[in-house]
Chains A and B, each alone.
Chain A
Amino acid sequence: MGTSDIPESAASSSTPELSLSSTPLSPFLPVLQLRSRVLQAIRRWFTEHDFIEVETPVRLAVPALELHINAEPAGDHFLRTSPELHMKRLMAAGAQRVFQLGPCFRRGERGSRHNPEYTMLEWYRANAGYADVLMDTKQLLLAVAREVKGTTDLEYQGRPLALAPFWERLTVSEAFVRWAGWDPAKNYDADRFDFDLVEKVEPRLPREVPVILTDYPAAAAALSRRKPDNPAVAERWELYLGGLEIANAYSELTDPGEQRARFEECAAARAAAGRAVYPLDENFLAELGHMPPTGGIALGVDRLVMILADLATLDDLLPFRE
């Protein structure tokens, strides 16, 4: 399997034939066909599971505050780094299941797995938690793989990757104790955590099966809630496919007081690091108290297509990459 098998399956279905003209963009047409089918399969799965597709503003007066994520200014607004706060406001308003597919922007992020502009799939489920969105994620990925590739047995960069039946589940503490020699849930050190995650943990995660790295130290909770029976960790997991980080899920924090405190702490840390500090999103904070327990997740669509198309870098996926 490889990129070469895409055109064959694509051409044999009802997709229009490719012309013989050739520009530097021509080599991207097969992967664009595959990408189109992935988007259709995603929409179909959510529609069949009673999610409503929403579109929230791309241009924001106030971007979400995160310590290490920088928003791209757009005039007197900012381009969104994530649709999270608007989608949660819809959940607070009473929506039960919503999803969104759309562009997000992160300033200065460019690498083989990063692009300053990318497509995010985000969904939220009411009266649910991070375990429920894990079930959603499994079903969604199996459905997409079956529809697009005809199988859940993939190959990524020369190694088999079986999306079914088994998903490896590791807590962050287990992974760090095993490969980095310390437990970040006990003595959190942000710089060391990030460095060891990249240098020691991620390279050793299994690649033949999907991996869920779960229960992050409370200090790395971001917008997730603490685990009720173990407040040292937060109900947050990340999905890795073939060593690529694909998705980040939470049992969402619903406590406006704790949310405000985390935003303020983040704002102070950003100011101390000399980064732009955005004002708090007061509409979000005012409505958050109405949000029921909710499971939410953000999934990088470009990286998912990289996996399905067996591409090593975004350079081979994005035709208009700068």
Chain B
Amino acid sequence: MYSASDLRKGLKIEIDGVPFDIVEYEFYRPGKGQAMYKCRIRNLLNNNVTDKTFREVDAIGEPNLEEREMQYSYNDGEHFVFLENRTYEQITLSPDVLGDQKYFLNEDMTVKVLFHNDRAIVVNLPAYVEKKIVSTEPGARGDTATNVTKAAKIDTGYEIKVPLFINEGDLVRIDTRNGAYAERVSKK
């Protein structure tokens, strides 16, 4: 268990069996009263953010969390299969756990999987991944402006906005944290 004075931004805590991440933290002590710890917390299972104030007397749950490096292996049509290199342990994750991250996986990509009580709950991809553009309207030749965009699909079917000069077959770098186009890696 944590005591309230252990609370700080970034600490992972557990409430009613659910793991949370503290995204904002504020110490406050009213008048002659006891210290309060006003926190904004993010549910690690569904990303919902809520406010929660802890009192000095509160004991706060410490989640059993473990982060392991794994490699993406394949998709069996529905589920996503990851392998741990060292132990050859294999886990199968539903698309729900991955959210939009599932669109940015590449074969053999190393990811960080967060386990809560031995259950995988979050998959963290590298900040940037490279993906091939499989379809987009032809761009205007020589147009290198990046503030005008058009829609383009990557191999997983995910649609991103890209500059006009990007063509089918180009390799682009995508920011996995927001799914946004970052830069062109190579032309077709």
Q: Which of A69, A111, A190, A193 contacts B27 (CB 8 A)?
A: A111
Segment from B52-60, B74-82, B121-129, B167-175 that makes contact with A: B52-60
Flag the segment in A155-163, A196-204, A289-297 that touches B: A196-204
- Complex contact A114–B36 (CB within 8 A): no
Residues of A within 8 A of B53 (CB): 195, 198-199
Tell me whether B26 is interfacial, beta carbon within 8 Å.
Answer: yes
Contact A69 B32 (CB under 8 A): yes
B142 within 8 A of A: no
Report B-chain residues with C-beta under 8 Å of the C-beta of A202.
30
A-B pairs with beta carbons under 8 A, tally: 58
Q: Is B146 an interface residue (CB 8 A)?
A: no
Q: B68 — which chain A residues lie within 8 A by C-beta?
A: none
Residues of chain B within 8 A (CB-CB) of A146 are none
Given contact pairs A68-B56, A191-B55, A198-B53, A112 touches B30 in the complex (Cβ within 8 A): no
In the bound complex, do residue B35 and residue A68 qualify as a contact, i.e. CB atoms below 8 Å apart?
yes
Count of A interface residues, CB-CB < 8 Å: 25
Q: B28 on the interface (CB 8 Å rule)?
A: yes
Residues of B within 8 A of A113 (CB): 28
B34 within 8 A of A: yes
Tell whether A110 is near chain B: CB-to-CB under 8 Å: yes
How many residues does chain B have at the interface if contact means C-beta atoms less than 8 Å apart? 17
Confirm or deny: A41 has a beta carbon within 8 angstroms of a beta carbon on chain B. no
Contact residues in B for A66 (Cβ distance below 8 Å): 32
Given the complex of chains A and B, what is the CA–CA distance between A193 and B29 in angstroms? 13
A259 to chain B, nearest CB (A): 15
B28 CB → nearest A CB, Å = 5
- The residue on A at minimum CB distance from B35 is A68
For A85-115 the 0/1 string (1 means CB < 8 A from B) is 0000000000000000000000011111110
Q: How far is the CB of A270 from chain B (nearest CB, A)?
A: 12
Check if A68 sits within 8 Å of B29, measured CB to CB. yes
Give Cα A66 to B33, complex, Å: 10
Q: Contacting B29 at CB < 8 Å: which of A109, A191, A220, A248?
A: A109
Taking CB atoms, residues of chain A closer than 8 Å to B92 are none
Query: Could you tell me if B5 and A248 are in contact, using CB atoms closer than 8 angstroms?
Result: no
Contact with A along B49-73 (1 / 0, CB 8 A): 0000101110000000000000000
Bound CA span A114–B28, Å: 7
Q: A238–B33 Cα gap in the complex (Å)? A: 12
Supply 20 further A-B pairs (C-beta < 8 A) apart from A69-B32, A220-B31, A220-B32: A67-B34, A68-B56, A109-B27, A111-B27, A111-B28, A113-B28, A114-B28, A190-B33, A190-B34, A191-B57, A193-B33, A194-B33, A194-B55, A195-B53, A195-B55, A198-B33, A198-B38, A202-B30, A220-B33, A222-B32
